[in-house]
Amino acid sequence: MKRTLVLILAALASAATFGGLVHAVLVVAHLSEPSATAVRGLTLQRLWASTGLLWALVGVVIGGLALARPNGRFGTASGRVGATVALVAGPIALVNGALVLAFARGGPGTGNGVVGGAAGVVLGLIAAVLGGLALAGARRVAPARETT
């Protein structure tokens, strides 16, 4: 019961922090004002932002798994492979999100994908950090090679 409550509170704190960081990115990009008219449906810009967000989510999940289990199911190299995937996917998502924000005209609701772009920037940065930490941990945990 106590562990469940702690996990719920940690999830709520993480969601609030993530929302605050996304809003901060939108404020820095001067795109935090909502539009007067809302565009509904999938636009090309929203698809572009969603693709970057997908890269970021893949990087965060794989980087988190590589950090949590450096000696995963597939042998000792899987920690390094996961860390490398996170280190590739994170910056791709970060740059993609920054490009979405750079080309966007207007704030949330305009169909330009600014919320997805800002989320991609935040999650891409998190994925890159997780990948770097996992790579450093994989180097530290790797078994020493014997010379015969």
H helices of the chain, in order, are 2-28, 44-68, 78-103, 114-141
Question: Crossing angle, helix 44-68 and helix 114-141, to 10 degrees?
Answer: 20
Domain positions in the chain = 2-141
- Both tokens of residue 27? 């404020």
In 3D, which of 88, 83, 73 has the Cα closest to residue 137? 83
At 79 the three-state DSSP class reads helix
- pTM to 2 decimal places: 0.74
> Per residue of the chain (148 residues), what is the pLDDT tens digit?
788 888 788 888 888 888 888 878 878 777 767 666 677 777 788 888 888 889 999 999 988 888 887 666 555 556 788 888 889 999 999 999 898 888 888 777 777 888 888 889 999 999 999 888 888 876 665 555 556 5
Q: Determine whether 135 is exposed, middle or buried from the number of CB atoms within 10 Å of its CB (0-12, 13-18, 19+).
A: buried
At 131 the three-state DSSP class reads helix
